[in-house]
């Protein structure tokens, strides 16, 4: 375990196992769809999750990336800015949005509305983590890896000041590590 970690909440083995279950469920749900879904991953946090999940989807999917910013330090703020938009058109496309964590739900609500405005045929959401206690807007992911308690988590894509994204598990840092910005 990383020396700055207080505890591991979800191990790498649990994540891989859950991704295999989610991949199977997604494959089953879209198998008879007119077209396979376009996975739209939100940079940067969802990259490790996307990479694991797609190994378990048995459909000819494609994926693309969007970067939105809504987050400073350890508290979510409301307004969302697009830092990188999709490369392809989403008109008539069935989209599966890939998120690292749904917290207040504001990011998801905004991005979902944006994609629908651009003419997406459908928008579903798969998230590695869900913090239901923190929700301030009414929105739920269609596929959830794990529900987590109301604690700031890092690892498997999730950062604190851009660090810890490469940890292969999800956990909580020691209190003193949240105080420094170095």
CB nearer to Mg ion: give 11 or 69: 69
| Under rule CB under 6 A, residue 102 binds ligand 5GP | yes
Tokens encoding 88? 């392809």
What DSSP designation does 134 have?
A: G
Tell the smallest beta-carbon distance from residue 53 to ligand 5GP (Å).
16
| Under rule CB under 6 A, residue 112 binds ligand 5GP | no
CB under 6 A: which stretch of 8-16, 32-40, 51-59, 149-157 binds ligand 5GP?
Answer: 149-157
Tokens encoding 172? 């909580």
51-83 residues labelled b (16+ CB within 10 A) or e (exposed): ebbbebbebebebbbbebebeeeeebeeebeee
Residues 6+ apart with CB under 8 A from 30: 36, 37, 59, 94, 96
| Under rule CB under 6 A, residue 105 binds ligand 5GP | yes
Query: Hey, is 80 helix, strand or coil?
Result: strand
Told to judge if 142 belongs to the known catalytic residues of this protein, a careful annotator would answer: no
CB under 5 A: which stretch of 41-49, 52-60, 75-83, 143-151 binds Mg ion?
Answer: 41-49
| Under rule CB under 5 A, residue 45 binds Mg ion | yes
| Under rule CB under 6 A, residue 70 binds ligand 5GP | yes
Give residues in contact with ligand 5GP (CB under 6 A).
Answer: 45, 70-71, 76, 99-108, 152-154, 158-160
């Amino acid at each position: 375990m990383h020396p700055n970690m207080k505890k591991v909440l979800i191990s790498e083995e649990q994540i891989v196992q859950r991704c295999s279950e989610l991949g199977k469920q997604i494959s089953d749900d879209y198998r008879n769809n007119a077209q396979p879904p376009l996975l739209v991953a939100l940079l940067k946090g969802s990259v490790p999750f996307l990479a694991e999940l797609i190994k378990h989807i048995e459909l000819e999917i494609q994926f693309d990336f969007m970067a939105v910013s809504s987050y400073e330090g350890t508290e979510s703020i409301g307004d969302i800015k697009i830092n990188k938009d999709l490369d392809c058109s989403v008109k008539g496309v069935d989209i599966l949005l890939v998120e690292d964590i749904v917290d207040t739900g504001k990011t998801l609500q905004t991005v979902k509305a944006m994609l629908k405005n651009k003419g997406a045929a459908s928008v579903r959401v798969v998230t590695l983590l869900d913090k239901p206690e923190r929700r301030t807007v009414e929105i739920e992911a269609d596929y959830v890896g794990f529900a987590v308690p109301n604690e700031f988590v890092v690892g498997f894509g999730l950062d604190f000041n851009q660090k810890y994204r490469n940890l292969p598990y999800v956990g909580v840092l020691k209190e003193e590590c949240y105080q420094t910005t170095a």
